[in-house]
Structure 1
Amino acid sequence: MMSGLVNSVTKLYNGFASVLNRLQSPLLLAIRLYWGYQFMQDGWGKLTHLDKVTDFFTNLNLPAPHMTALAVALIELCGGFLFTFGIASRLTSLVLFVNMTMAYLSVPDDRVNFSHIFSKPEDFYGASPYTYWFAALLILILGPGVFAVDTLLKRWIGTRGEPAHTVS
């Protein structure tokens, strides 16, 4: 009797997990679409107001503030585009993740919030770079999902007689 109950619960749980597993790629797509668009918007905003961003970076004592502002704007604009469509997803996510880590570390209030990651997590996740940082981290670790240009390219390369992945 008990083993039948355990088997039933296990089967129910496995079915539930299977349904959730099918939602992984749509979730990753939603993250990429939403946050990729946000990255693009922020990059475009910085690019079209480069003088204000340069002044802000000057006040933060960042090196070469104009070039840094231009680089950050282009990283967010172009990286956001690549992130949205799942192109070079993990490399793009790494660049965006590092960019947002630097955003945390460059602004004095956010630097303090970053240092509170374990002691006062509400400060850490309440800081403005957090959601961008976390979205980039998720795609960096989990990949873009099946609804991505990267996945299409892997399938296309795999159908040309070359293995899509090799197992060592």
Structure 2
Amino acid sequence: SITDALNAPGFEMFRRLIEDYERDNDVPMADIAAALALQSRDGAEFLMTEPPPEKRRERPDRPERERAPRKVRDDLATYRIAVGKRQKVNPGAIVGAIANEGGLHRSDFGHITIKVDHSLVELPARLPKEAWKKLENTRIQGVLIDLKPDRGRPSGPRATGGKPRRPKQ
């Protein structure tokens, strides 16, 4: 993240180079930052977007099956972890890391939803303290998972510039 990079080794050297460029070329700092961000992405998409939903293929040879509603388990709660599609994680990697590090069994897991920058994982509502402790330093794809209870959507202004969300009651 940008915040982490502010404390990274070599930061001061790059800061001096950019300040020199700003002074010598009379270019605003924001323009320099934007140009460097553009260069650093190396032709790749900078902001991740959700892919469009896949269209279901037609199967005329068999009737449409009705899906059974997912069972709600009262013993589970939703937790948020700091890895998602951007890190190219899949449910198996999430279950494997949390089960192995936290001493959980795959039957301790419920539904997993993978978003762009985070994932939501149903785990035991009363997660043992030993498991919390073991999971503090757990990484998936090299990223610290930062396991915490999910609080739902944040309130406040949206990143897209829309109207502020109403806080949950």
TM-score by length of 2: 0.30
Larger relative contact order (Cα-Cα within 8 Å, sequence gap ≥ 6): 1
Give the TM-score normalised by structure 1.
0.30
Q: Which has the larger radius of gyration?
A: 2
| More helix per residue | 1
